[in-house]
A and B are shown apart, each in its own frame.
Chain A
Amino acid sequence: MGLTMVEKILARATGQKKVKAGQVVEPKVSLAMSHENAALVINQFLEVYKDTGLKPRVWDPDKIAIILDHRVPAESSKTATNQKKIREFVAAQKIKKFHDIRGDEGGICHQILPESGYVLPGTVVVGTDSHTTSHGALGAFSFGIGATEMASVWALGRVLNVEVPGTIKVVAKGRFPRHVLPKDFILYLIGLITAEGANFKVLEYHGPAIESMDTSGRLTVCNMSVEAGATSGIVPPDKETLRYLREEARVKGKIEIFGPDPDAEYERVVEIDVSKLEPMVACPHTVDNVKPVGQVGKVKVDQIVIGSCTNGRLDDLAVAARILKGKKVAKGVRMLVFPASFRIYQRALKLGYIADLVKAGAVIMNPGCGCCLGVHQGALGDGEVALSTTNRNFKGRMGNPKADVYLCSPAVAAASALTGYITDPRKGGK
Chain B
Amino acid sequence: MRDRDNTELLIDADRGDTAAWHEIVRRYARLVWAVPRSHRLSREDAADVCQATWLALAENLSRIRRPERLGAWLVTTTRRETLTVLRLRGREVPLDLWEAADDGPTPEERALARDAGLWRAYATLTDRCREILRLAAFAPELSFTQVAEAVGIPVNSLGATRGRCLAVLRRRLGVEVGR
A, B co-complexed: no
Chain B residues proximal to chain A, CB less than 8 Å: none
